[in-house]
């Protein structure tokens, strides 16, 4: 499956005039306010978000999974799916692999498929939350935190193997999401579990190549329901500091209890130079894995406002690794990801419109009303013509969902892969 650029170009033709009218009007308005429109379009074009290999099939819950048609059943096909997303949106130029679900059989061939699709390999993800068929030890009672050293050693060795695989692909980071925790009070000694985890992470950190980063992801609950070893950003931050300067906290939007002020967490971590990775999704109740921006777009904008501020004012913080970590139980996975990519770009563009100098002045005056006006003026701007322009300039689709449908891509994937192909991993 390879997208024909010519088909995208011809699909853009009948939308081009309407786009131009919308863009010119917006560009005029923004220029009148002193905004450098071309600079924003360039920033949008530069903003690339990794797609995780596990998001390309239909998602599911612990109660069941309704498969989607024409799912990618090999790593090569997963990369091709990301290639489709990237061709249409020009903003999905990376894939994040999950080991052991996506261990390449032929590295050279896989790298060729990726290059052909203009895709690079982002962070590699380890998995110690389930037992593999050939496993000697079980992770039923934890992995890096387990009371049994043999189990911890197996989990450490797995993470080191993931780094080795990533090295061969050109990845530069390892993401550790540790599911370890307990289901019942008294089951686990919190201090012992945390000490073991810190020790295990330090051993993994010890083998990281010089130019690699380690991202430590946190989550308050699930799969365990009483306690989680790395439950919040503070615990992750503490562990990252214990490991060293190549270790960072990873913020996943869904990994917070309801109403948590995520933008403040982002701001604090960037001030401390420790925000390394970022996972986008949206939610109503918990780790729902909903489409980015589908439930709380204003919260996403406020988070981006802090990200933009930090990227400008916190040179101590590295450029974060962006990834979508969502599921799509009832949607075509590729259409869902297109919607997420659009929502991310939209929130980013709006945050770039916030007049930081005026906001600072209003804050110093304690002009609370003006502060809100400045944020909401940016938020209420329809920035979609800027997104379209960024795509158009790179031969992406003016309307990616419409292009995906009119090109009949899902039907082509079904024809190629069969109706009942199933994505590996989930
Ligand atoms: Mn995540």
For 284-307, what is the mean pLDDT?
97
Joined together, the tokens standing for residue 219 give 């989550």
Q: Which helix (H) or strand (E) segment is 22 a member of?
A: helix 5-32
Q: Is residue 425 part of a domain?
A: no
**Distance from the CA of 257 to the center of ligand 1, in angstroms?**
15
95, 85 contact by CB (below 8 A): no
**Number of domains within the chain:** 1
* Per-chain residues with Cβ under 5 A from ion ligand 1: 252, 279, 325
| Domain span including residue 200 | 5-417
**Distance from the CA of 55 to the center of ligand 1, in angstroms?**
11
**Distance from the CA of 251 to the center of ligand 1, in angstroms?**
8
**Distance from the CA of 328 to the center of ligand 1, in angstroms?**
15
DSSP code of residue 74:
S
Q: How far apart are CA 155 and CA 251, in angstroms?
A: 22
Q: How many helices (H) and strands (E) does the chain have?
A: 15, 11
Q: pLDDT exceeding 70 applies to what percent of the chain?
A: 99
Confidence band (pLDDT; 50, 70, 90) for 59? confident
Buried/exposed 366-386: b ≥16 CB within 10 Å, e otherwise: eeeeebeebbeebbebebbbb
Confidence band (pLDDT; 50, 70, 90) for 55? very high
Q: Is residue 248 part of a domain?
A: yes
Domain CATH code at residue 121: 3.20.20.150
Distances (CA, A) of 421 to 176, 224, 425: 29, 31, 13
**Distance from the CA of 325 to the center of ligand 1, in angstroms?**
5
What angle (nearest 5°) sits at the alpha carbon of residue 163, between those of residues 328 and 289? 15
122, 321 contact by CB (below 8 A): yes
Confidence band (pLDDT; 50, 70, 90) for 424? low
Walk across the sheet containing 173-177 and list its strands.
120-121, 94-96, 50-52, 321-324, 275-280, 247-252, 213-217, 173-177, 124-125
pLDDT for residue 425: 64
Buried/exposed 254-278: b ≥16 CB within 10 Å, e otherwise: bbbeeeeebbebbbbbbbbebbbbb
**Distance from the CA of 360 to the center of ligand 1, in angstroms?**
33
pLDDT for residue 74: 94
Q: Is residue 423 part of a domain?
A: no
Return the HEC string of 193-235: HHHHHHHHHHHHHCCCCCCCEEEEECCCCCCCCCEECCCCHHH
378, 30 contact by CB (below 8 A): no
Asked if residue 22 has pLDDT above 60, the reply is: yes
Mean pLDDT of the chain: 96
Q: Residue 128, Cβ neighbours under 10 Å: how many?
A: 27
Q: Is residue 311 part of a domain?
A: yes
Asked if residue 426 has pLDDT above 70, the reply is: no
21 by Cβ neighbours in 10 Å (0-12 / 13-18 / 19+) ranks as exposed
pLDDT in tens, 348-372: 999 999 999 999 999 999 999 999 9
Distances (CA, A) of 38 to 147, 310, 425: 56, 21, 42
Q: Is residue 365 part of a domain?
A: yes
Asked if residue 10 has pLDDT above 60, the reply is: yes
**Distance from the CA of 283 to the center of ligand 1, in angstroms?**
13
Q: Is the dihedral of CA 302, 304, 308, 313 positive or negative?
A: positive
Q: Is residue 403 part of a domain?
A: yes
**Distance from the CA of 79 to the center of ligand 1, in angstroms?**
19
Q: How far apart are CA 26 and CA 20, in angstroms?
A: 10
Q: Is residue 345 part of a domain?
A: yes
| Radius of gyration from C-alpha coordinates of the chain | 22
Query: Which residues does 253 contact at the CB level (< 8 Å), separation at least 6?
Result: 262, 279, 280, 281, 282, 283, 292, 300, 303
Joined together, the tokens standing for residue 275 give 């925000």
**Distance from the CA of 206 to the center of ligand 1, in angstroms?**
23
Q: Is residue 355 part of a domain?
A: yes
**Distance from the CA of 17 to the center of ligand 1, in angstroms?**
40
pLDDT in tens, 174-233: 999 999 999 999 999 999 999 999 999 999 999 999 999 999 999 999 999 999 999 999
Q: How far apart are CA 339 and CA 426, in angstroms?
A: 22
Q: pLDDT exceeding 90 applies to what percent of the chain?
A: 93
Joined together, the tokens standing for residue 20 give 């131009």
294, 282 contact by CB (below 8 A): yes
Q: How far apart are CA 11 and CA 145, in angstroms?
A: 53
């Amino acid at each position: 499956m390879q997208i024909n650029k010519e088909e995208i170009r011809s699909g853009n033709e009948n939308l081009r005039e309407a786009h131009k009218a919308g863009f010119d009007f917006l560009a005029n308005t923004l220029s009148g306010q002193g905004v450098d429109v071309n600079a924003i379009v360039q920033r949008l074009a530069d903003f690339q978000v990794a797609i995780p290999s596990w998001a390309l099939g239909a998602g599911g819950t612990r109660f069941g999974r309704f498969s989607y048609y024409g799912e990618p059943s090999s790593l090569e096909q997963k990369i091709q799916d990301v290639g489709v997303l990237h061709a249409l949106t020009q903003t999905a130029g990376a894939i994040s692999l999950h080991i052991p679900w996506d261990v390449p059989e032929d590295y050279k061939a896989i790298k060729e498929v990726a290059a052909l699709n203009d895709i690079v390999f982002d962070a590699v993800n380890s998995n110690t939350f389930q037992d593999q068929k050939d496993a000697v030890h079980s992770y039923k009672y934890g992995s890096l935190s387990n009371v049994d050293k043999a189990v911890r050693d197996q989990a450490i060795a797995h993470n080191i193997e993931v780094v080795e695989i990533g090295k061969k692909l050109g990845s530069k980071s390892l993401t550790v999401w540790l599911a370890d925790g307990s289901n019942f009070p008294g089951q686990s000694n919190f201090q012992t579990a945390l000490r073991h985890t810190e020790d295990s992470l330090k051993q993994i950190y010890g083998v990281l190549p010089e130019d690699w980063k380690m991202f430590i992801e946190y989550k308050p609950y699930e799969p365990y329901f009483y306690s989680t070893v790395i439950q919040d950003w503070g615990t992750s931050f503490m562990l990252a500091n214990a490991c060293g300067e190549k270790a960072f906290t990873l913020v996943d939007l869904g990994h917070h209890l309801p109403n948590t002020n995520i933008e403040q967490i982002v701001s604090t971590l960037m001030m401390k130079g420790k925000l390394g990775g970022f996972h986008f999704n949206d939610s109503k109740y918990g780790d729902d894995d909903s489409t980015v921006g589908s439930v709380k777009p204003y919260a996403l904008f406020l988070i981006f406002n802090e990200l933009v501020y930090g990227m400008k004012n916190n040179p101590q913080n590295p450029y974060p690794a962006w990834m979508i970590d969502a599921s799509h139980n009832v949607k075509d996975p590729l259409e869902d990801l297109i919607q997420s990519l659009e929502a991310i770009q939209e929130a980013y563009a709006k945050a770039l419109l916030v007049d930081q100098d005026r906001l600072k002045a209003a804050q110093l005056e304690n002009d609370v009303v003006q502060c809100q006006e400045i944020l909401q003026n940016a938020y209420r701007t329809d920035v979609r013509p800027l997104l379209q322009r960024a795509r158009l300039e790179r031969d992406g689709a003016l309307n990616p969902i419409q292009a995906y449908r009119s090109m009949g891509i899902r039907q082509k994937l079904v024809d190629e892969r069969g109706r009942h192909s199933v994505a590996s991993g989930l």
